[in-house]
Amino acid sequence: MQCFHCGREVRETIHRQKSYRVDYYRLHTGQTEWDFFLNLKQDAGPIRYLKLTQPIDLFTCIACYARPEIRQRLDDDFLGRRPLLEVHPAGEHKTGPIAKS
């Protein structure tokens, strides 16, 4: 198992009698695609959600997890704002960032 961000080998959690040491965090993610729930209410549109089509486990070592920018990327992935893996959800039209002048 390797850290997704820095590539270092991560160790299994070490259990001692009264404590344990965690070396990594596991993120259950993968390729997603947009799908819809049909909303049963007449006047409401369908509910869009990200469906996990190809699950992948990613590991983040504790050193990387302590970095705010990496924590942000994990959050973005989890919330479907920006996938951690460089794949874009099928059916989602990519809109480029607005150029700053």
**Using the rule CB under 5 A, is 5 a contact of Zn ion?**
yes
Find the shortest distance in angstroms from Cβ 59 to Zn ion.
8
* Tokens representing residue 27 in the block: 């993120």
Q: What is the 3-state secondary structure (H, E, C) of 60-83?
A: EEHHHHCCHHHHHHHHHHHCCCCC
**Using the rule CB under 5 A, is 87 a contact of Zn ion?**
no
> How many residues bind to Zn ion according to rule CB under 5 A?
5
The residue within the footprint of Zn ion, chosen from 27, 61, 74, 84 (CB under 5 A), is 61
Amino acid at site 35: D
Alpha-carbon distances of 76 from 8, 17, 46, 49, rounded to whole Å: 23, 36, 23, 15
Dist. CA 96–CA 65, nearest whole Å:
28
Find the shortest distance in angstroms from Cβ 3 to Zn ion.
3
The residue within the footprint of Zn ion, chosen from 27, 29, 32, 64 (CB under 5 A), is 64
Please say which residue, 32 or 70, places its beta carbon nearer to Zn ion: 70
In the three-class reduction of DSSP (H, G, I as helix; E, B as strand; rest coil), residue 23 is classed as coil
Find the shortest distance in angstroms from Cβ 52 to Zn ion.
24
Residues at the interface with Zn ion (CB under 5 A): 3, 5-6, 61, 64
